[in-house]
Amino acid sequence: MRAHRIATPLWLVLGAAACLAGERIIDFSQHAVGQQPTGFVSLVTGEGPAGDWRIRMDEIPGPEPVITGKSPVVRQQAVLAQVSQDRTDERYPLLVLDDAVFGDFTLTTRFKTVAGVKEQMAGLAFRIQNASNYYVVRASALGQNVRFYKFVNGLRTPPVGPSLVIATGAWHELTVECKGNKIRCLLDGIERILGADPQNSFTNGKVGFWTKSDSVTHFANTRIAFTARESIAPSLIRDAQQRYPRVLALRISALSRDSQAPRIIASSRASEVGQPPDAEEADVLRREIIHTNKRRGEVEVTLPLHDRNGDPVAALRVTLKPFLGQTIANVIARARPIAEYMEQRIRHQGDLVP
């Protein structure tokens, strides 16, 4: 067995993951009052300190009653509140749902702007890559408008959206719909923004709550209807087998999102899926090298798979039938085009491990 280091290729996006429908409801009553909810990460874009996000109790009116002339029922409910009143101008606190990445989705929340001298804003950030790169739709009670824009490397693009009355101290509903690069925003059930990002800057990412400067804002009744992403790994195996019919077997191993231990995520031998890989595959993931190994009637090559940025995201095991006089260089040369073929469809690790 020998190890060989190889150069890292860069490739363009050619593929996408298969899709299924799903829904998620964020229930703030499941979190401790006075504390930041678990499963979220507090970030800040721009200058100044991060936000102070806490669970509070607030009165929220229910649906309008069927009998006209009667007021909606108001009840106490756990809400998410951003309570910091730091007045730094270019300060955008974010609270990001940290355990899921979404591509196409509909995200709806209710919000109430409570206080703020410089700003009174409530927003939904989405397709979040990090604190400096994401889209946002926000409503301003002081500015009396709804705006959409994006942050790219911390720089804000020109805002787009209409002016309209947004009452302070009243509950409103904000909805964002994303399908590909098309983005639609509704306020209180009425479409306010319909557009697209021609650069298609962010194809997927996390979602979160957003405010600006000293805005004290409450959020409640949040739900996400989404198109669940599946790993493209099984289709990579299937398509490569059709393209390279002389290959005896293929399998892909990667680190799962919820564990530091790698596992086999796709294989031409179905019984292997979900099992831990062998030491050679783990070594490829750790050190980005190539392993070769000869067995009776077979030769194996294990090599890294890279995303479009050239980062290693998985280990590919290629099992071939040897031929007389075959060298290690021959074996690697036979396996390398298979890895390169797969890499054309891998944008990032999330394509393999959603």
pTM value is 0.65
Could you give the CA distance from residue 323 to residue 198 in angstroms, rounded to a whole number?
51
Task: Report phi then psi at 304, rounded to 5.
Answer: -75, 150
Per-residue model confidence (pLDDT) at position 72: 72
Per-residue model confidence (pLDDT) at position 348: 80
Which residues in 207-225 are b (16+ Cβ under 10 Å) and which e? bbbbbbbbbbbbbbbbebb
Per-residue model confidence (pLDDT) at position 354: 65
Beta bridge partners of 223: 25, 108
Q: Helix (H, G, I), strand (E, B), or coil: what is residue 214? A: coil
Per-residue model confidence (pLDDT) at position 81: 98
Only one residue has tokens 């009840």, namely 75
Cα end-to-end span (Å), the chain: 33
Structure tokens at 86: 């730091």
DSSP string for residues in 239-269: HHHHH-TT--EEEEEEE-TT-SSEEEEEESS
Per-residue model confidence (pLDDT) at position 3: 46
Nearest CA-CA partner of 296 in 248, 330, 344: 248
Nearest CA-CA partner of 298 in 320, 317, 316: 320
Nearest CA-CA partner of 227 in 349, 129, 103, 108: 103
Could you give the CA distance from residue 100 to residue 72 in angstroms, rounded to a whole number?
34
Per-residue model confidence (pLDDT) at position 18: 37
Q: Helix (H, G, I), strand (E, B), or coil: what is residue 281? A: helix
171 contact partners, CB below 8 Å, separation of at least 6? 60, 61, 110, 111, 112, 220
Structural domains of the chain sorted by starting position, each given as residue range(s) with its CATH number in brackets = 2-15+230-352 (3.30.450.40), 19-229 (2.60.120.560)
- Mean pLDDT per block of 10 residues along the chain (354 residues) reads 36 32 89 96 97 97 64 88 96 94 94 97 97 97 97 96 96 96 96 92 93 98 85 90 94 77 90 91 92 90 93 94 88 94 88 78
Task: Report phi then psi at 51, rounded to 5.
Answer: -75, 170
Per-residue model confidence (pLDDT) at position 21: 66
Task: Report phi then psi at 77, rounded to 5.
Answer: -150, 150
Could you give the CA distance from residue 236 to residue 340 in angstroms, rounded to a whole number?
11
Angle, helices 233-243 vs 328-343, to 10°: value is 130
Inter-residue contact 141 to 113 (CB < 8 Å): yes
Inter-residue contact 301 to 17 (CB < 8 Å): no
DSSP conformational letter for 157: P
